[in-house]
A and B are shown apart, each in its own frame.
Chain A
């Protein structure tokens, strides 16, 4: 293996994705979140052609958390015990390069020889946890009383800014100001997601959405309306990261990890970051391209986080699919990012319409498309190079996958 920039091995190339799995997904399933988690994990193990005795590593995001309600359905120890796994390596936690930081960790674990097949999972039950009250019910201090803000929330809660919707809306507003980006342009992220969700049997919202529907939706926090925000749901997603040299005889052709991006160079803060029109994805994206000879023009499909519409635009720029500031014109009209466009985007409906499976849904969809298993929403052409990105603000990670 040669590389133009460095004699050092690009160690993530020893890793691949060998299988994926997903539980039932729904707005409110009212099921045991550990059950959903295990459904996804067992499906991924089986999909790879492995058994639980083959799994010797475990990686998850964000680990067990009781608040915000529904944000985590299970931790590493829960799954390790339930499946009686014997692990050479395991890791679960929040402080990493976005939700896919856990998958990047798994790549490094198999590359270093600590494990051969790492089960990675992400599990949410925010739909059921929020019940009929919506997101406001899970905000810290939402019930009033003598709660006091500390940590990074000290600098947002006293200003009635408890939600990522507000923080990220401010990034979008700055982008609009600097580059002339418009709400209508941003709307194509939501409309594209909705039209793809119509072909995904697990998607939450499938009825057609017009630009008028998008523009007339209830305002949340300018410039975001309701359809700029993803849809809380219940569901779990899992995948197997395998050592490439142990994956060639498995059920699916290995999806090689060509390069990963995990960097953050600015201050790790939502309001103190050096450039509020971009995010840590700027650094993760640059790092990923520094580790491969492939170029953005080689990528045939992008699955990029859409917890809010603007985050996808930010990733499109960060990954170099257009110049900084030009994501608005890039997505305008929605043809370039359609399933039959030059860069099919969020082909399962993303989190906006598919459901907030929180990062892992994008990698699940990328693998499903690259294996030709996406059913009615399958991209017509053979996808050999796909990019996957998740997170926003100070927590961003990305991977480039290649099917040889």
Chain B
């Protein structure tokens, strides 16, 4: 869960909109959420005003399990901007419910030498206080800690 006891790193936060608010604030109740077409069950990410499969507009935000698979990653050593302590792991993950839904994210609580493509992960959330609306950044950690 959000490790507010530890220092929260600087992050550029997303500009919140009606389309993305549920995604970025779901972490408040520990939920990873995506828009989903209620007619054809397609998950939609990033958010769109219509379903890209059936073009319907009967869309709703639904929580998923937060379980995911590591698709690929890179351990970044370069200080591009203020951010997490170097080096940190940037990764692309696929959610368990639909491998076509991916997120760029960070893998945390994992030795970088233990990162293996295909490893199971679970979402945790990093709370950022902001006057325009708090944000919970979805990060991932190994489902089974090594």
A residues with CB within 8 A of B: 135-136, 139-142, 144, 147-150, 154-163, 165-167, 169-171, 173-174, 177, 218-224, 270-272, 274, 276
Contacts and interface: CB of A to CB of B under 8 A. Distances in A.
Nearest to B74: A169
A158 B135 CA distance: 10
Contacts of A224: 74
Given A161-B76, A170-B90, 19 more contacts: A141-B12, A142-B82, A154-B14, A154-B46, A156-B104, A157-B11, A160-B81, A160-B83, A160-B90, A166-B90, A167-B104, A169-B74, A170-B72, A174-B71, A218-B77, A220-B76, A271-B104, A276-B71, A276-B72
A384 to B, nearest CB: 40
B87 to A, nearest CB: 8
Interface string B69-81: 0011111111111
Given A221-B90, A271-B102, A158 B76 contact: no
Given A142-B81, A155-B104, A149 B15 contact: yes
A129 to B, nearest CB: 16
Contacts of B81: 136, 139, 141-142, 160, 162
Nearest to A175: B72
A181 to B, nearest CB: 13
Interface residues of B, number: 39
B71 to A, nearest CB: 6
A223 B115 CA distance: 13
Given A174-B71, A271-B104, A160 B77 contact: no
Contacts of B117: 173-174, 177
A313 to B, nearest CB: 15
B137 A170 contact: no
B38 interface: no
B76 A166 contact: yes
B82 A144 contact: yes
A186 to B, nearest CB: 14
A272 B98 CA distance: 12
Contacts of A136: 78-81
Contact of A174 (B72, B82, B100): B72
6 contacts: A136-B81, A160-B11, A160-B80, A160-B81, A160-B106, A271-B102
A276 B15 CA distance: 27
B104 A159 contact: yes
A159 B105 contact: yes
Nearest to B112: A222
Nearest to A144: B82
B6 interface: no
A270 B104 CA distance: 9
B14 A150 contact: yes
Contacts of A140: 12
A154 B73 contact: no
